[in-house]
Amino acid sequence: MDYKLQVGVQSHLEMGSLEDRSMQDLHDECLHSPETDARKNQTTYSNEPLPFSDGRLPAGCNNMIGHGVYRSIKTVVFSNKLNLLMPFGPLAILVHKLTAHNGWVFFLSLLGITPLAERLGYATEQLAFYTGPTIGGLLNATFGNATELIISIYALKSGMTRVVQLSLLGSILSNMLLVLGCAFFCGGLVYHRKEQVFNKATAIVNSGLLLMAVMGLLFPAVLHYTHTERQYGKSELSLSRFSSCVMLVAYAAYLVFQLKGQNDLYAPINEENLDDDDDDDDDDDDDDDDDDDGGGGGGGGGGGGDDDEAPEISKWESGIWLVILTAWISILSDYLVDTIQGASEAWDVSIAFISVILLPIIGNAAEHASAIMFAMKDKLDISLGVAIGSSTQISMFGIPFCVVIGWMMGQEMDLNFQLFETATLFITVIVVAFFLQEGTSNYFKGLMLILAYLIVAASFFAHEDPTSANEKKQP
């Protein structure tokens, strides 16, 4: 999920998983030299605790594999400050077994998932190194919001379709308003003398896709609420399933369009990077911008060399970590979904509020931080990719995908998000599309978006969802 040019299409396709870049920036100072210089010969610190995968590989194997495992764990697990939250995952399971306190289990699982989500993105991006730009882009496009999808699938399995709808909706809203607003705001404060610019074309395409997604969501809801379905109860489900397939086709077409057009889209960015030496410190980080070789090319500036480097973990390691992290996320998601109702009662807030506001904010924390960081470095395009790209992906891929998965599971998940939520999404998309169409940003626009999110959050706080109150976990 780096802003990598080798996997060039990523930066256009799905920048949702770009948080690793910033994390790596932070950690490069301490990790860069030892890690990349001595890949498999590094002496390990034998007193490092190995939380996850040590037991799998035979410790009696030769030194090389042992070191490889240790180093791999070190790279993946310890290279990120966010991973301090990792122990919360097992802790949540512990608390669940020991007490019945749903509120705490929910909260701890949430905290435990956050670093895993971030690492999952990292693993995906590492894997993308080996698979080439096309598959890499697709990987990012699919796994970019894997965490939300995994949580949603577990909720679907439990029959909690309302939680699915609400959490996906909340993810879209928080990405569009909160993440984007914070990015604009912080970037605008740092660069308050000038207006930051971003690529209008990408923003407008994404806005158009979001509007189309809203359209897909609006019709089942309106159909239901005007009581004009042909077959009450069945029509909107069929319409939802059909619309979902259409939306998935649209998303696939979007991917193809991006992949095919990446060369055209790339040239302007190249020129922009080459020309602007002052305001674009892209040159430092994105040497691969200029060199389009796939294998990790020129060194360039100090921090920039990191991008061109060979991936930090090998292909099989990436794959294995991907699997491990997905498994962990699945386990914690199960607890999360189990305890959401208990948490709602324990904290005396509606399930709607938890699903729409709390879940996405904490789940998206890493993306949030990275978007802000990029904005403060005047790389607003990346921030926009993280925020709006993620929203687009969830709305055009995540939601229809869940409907289809529900279809296969036999769950009646549809696109009727109920009137209040649909209206919220509609007005939000219009406001954001309007804000984006100018192609510039300043701290005031960011503040407006953040305040708009405050209003949305307050509305959901005051909102009692009639259907989710009736949802219980199905066995």
Query: Near a copy of itself by CB under 8 A, which window of 3-11, 92-100, 208-216, 436-444?
Result: 436-444
The token pair at 406 is 């529900």
Sorted by sequence, the CB contacts under 8 Å of residue 390 that are 6+ apart come out as 14, 15, 16, 144, 145, 171, 175, 179, 364, 367
Q: How far is the CB of 32 from a copy of itself (least distance, A)?
A: 40
Is residue 434 at the binding interface for a copy of itself, with CB under 8 A as the rule?
A: yes
Q: Which is nearer to a copy of itself, 257 or 461 (CB)?
A: 461
Query: Of the listed pieces 20-28, 60-68, 104-112, 450-458, which binds a copy of itself according to CB under 8 A?
Result: 450-458
DSSP class of residue 411 equals -
Q: Residue 162, interface with a copy of itself (CB under 8 A)?
A: no
DSSP classification of residue 245? H
Least distance to a copy of itself from the beta carbon of 423, Å?
5
Q: Interface mask (CB under 8 A) for a copy of itself, residues 164-193, using x and -?
A: ----------------------------x-
Number of residues that bind a copy of itself (CB under 8 A): 34
Least distance CB 442 / a copy of itself (angstroms): 8
Of the pair 256, 454, the CB lying nearest a copy of itself is at 454
Who's near 53: CB < 8 A, 6+ residues apart?
A: 69, 73, 320, 324
286-293: Cβ within 8 A, 24+ apart: 286/3, 286/5, 288/4, 288/5, 288/6, 289/5, 291/5, 292/5, 292/8, 293/6
Does residue number 458 form part of the binding site for a copy of itself (CB under 8 A)? yes
Q: Which of 411, 424, 429, 441 binds a copy of itself (CB under 8 A)?
A: 424
Element (H, E) at 196: strand 196-197
CA distances from 309 to 73, 287, 367 (A): 19, 10, 23
Least gap, CB of 281 to a copy of itself (angstroms): 24
Quote the crossing angle between the two packed helices 235-260 and 200-225, to the nearest 10°: 170
Q: What's the CA gap between 278 and 449, in Å, rounded?
A: 28
Q: Among residues 43, 232, 451, 472, which is the contact residue for a copy of itself, using CB under 8 A?
A: 451
296 φ, ψ (degrees, to nearest 5): 90, 95
* Nearer CB in complex with a copy of itself: 276/464: 464
Figure out which of the listed residues 208, 298, 437, 472 binds a copy of itself, where binding follows CB under 8 A: 437
Q: What length does the chain have?
A: 475
* Smallest distance from a copy of itself to CB 440, Å: 8
- In the complex with a copy of itself, which residue's Cβ is closer, 30 or 454? 454
Q: Which of 35, 289, 465, 471 binds a copy of itself (CB under 8 A)?
A: 465
Binding of a copy of itself by 430 (CB under 8 A) = yes
By CB under 8 A, what part of segment 318-377 binds a copy of itself? Answer: 350
Dist. CA 165–CA 355, nearest whole Å = 9
Separation between Cα atoms, residue 341 and residue 457, nearest integer Å: 19
Contact assessment for residue 307 and residue 297, using Cβ atoms and an 8 Å cutoff? no
235 in contact with a copy of itself (CB under 8 A): no
Does position 431 interact with a copy of itself (CB under 8 A)? The reply is yes
Q: How far is CA 238 from CA 166, 222, 415, in A?
A: 20, 14, 10
The distance of closest approach from Cβ of residue 400 to a copy of itself in the complex, given in angstroms and rounded to an integer, is: 24
**CB of residue 460 to a copy of itself, shortest distance in Å:** 9
- Sites of contact with a copy of itself (CB under 8 A): 192, 350, 418-420, 423-424, 427-428, 430-431, 434-435, 437-438, 442-445, 447-448, 451-452, 454-456, 458-459, 461-466
